[in-house]
Amino acid sequence: MNGRRSKISSEPDLFSVDPSSYLPLRLSSMEWPDPAQFPLNHSSATTRAHVWTDLTTSRRPLVVAGFTSIAELVELTAAWATKQTDGEMRLLIGSEPFETERTSFVSSRLAFTDDVHRFWLDEGVSLRQSAKIVNAIDLIESGRVNARFVEGNTRLHAKIYAGETAATVGSSNFTHAGLSRQFEANARFTSELEPARFIALASIADNALRWRAKAARPLLTRSSDAAMAR
């Protein structure tokens, strides 16, 4: 009797298995349209795969996002700066980026002067953990990254990620969950296959940037302070 109970208790049951862990596999087993046209997240595809490439391979990418995380912004600016020696990245954020749970943004490609070492060590920040954060701040201060978030009663809820040859619009916020984990629905238009839709979507993103250009506040101070506080 005890042996039978032991055998039964060792088997998964309704309360011991998290059904959400199977969702990506179940989604990937279904038929979906071309992910290059409709970026989704499941076990064999992510929205990030297309959005990231479109943004980092463009000299003047534009991110219009209702919600973001500092981690994704830091990673994006680092990846973009590695590929682009000039140009301008434009970021318009609908709400102030939330603090990430990440504590390490190591970048093997970045070197620091003795002055920078002394400054950040005096502030109690580990350079080994903060290289990409320092790089992101430097890009903003140099004008290569124009990053702002919108204040006021009119909220920015749109999510548009526009590069020079493709633009994506949909439900994915600029967070790890939105770009890689959650069930999302997005549409992507390329200048090669759907030039009219690509131009129209890119113009919407440009208009959003111009619409809030005066009201939007620079992102540098609060985002950097929040990141450093982790």
pLDDT at 225: 47
> What number is the average pLDDT over the span 16-43?
75
Q: How many helices (H) and strands (E) does the chain have?
A: 9, 7
* pLDDT above 90 coverage of the chain, percent: 40
* Phi then psi dihedrals of residue 151, to 5 deg: -110, 165
42 DSSP assignment: B
- The pLDDT of residue 227 is 44
Three-state SS sequence of 161-180: EECCCEEEEECCCECHHHHH
Contact 70/97 with Cβ under 8 angstroms? yes
Instruction: With a cut of 50, say whether residue 203 has pLDDT above it.
Output: yes
CA 3 to chain centre: 51
The domains located in the chain, with CATH, are: 47-228 (3.30.870.10)
Give pLDDT tens digits for 142-187: 889 988 877 767 788 899 999 999 999 999 999 999 999 999 999 9
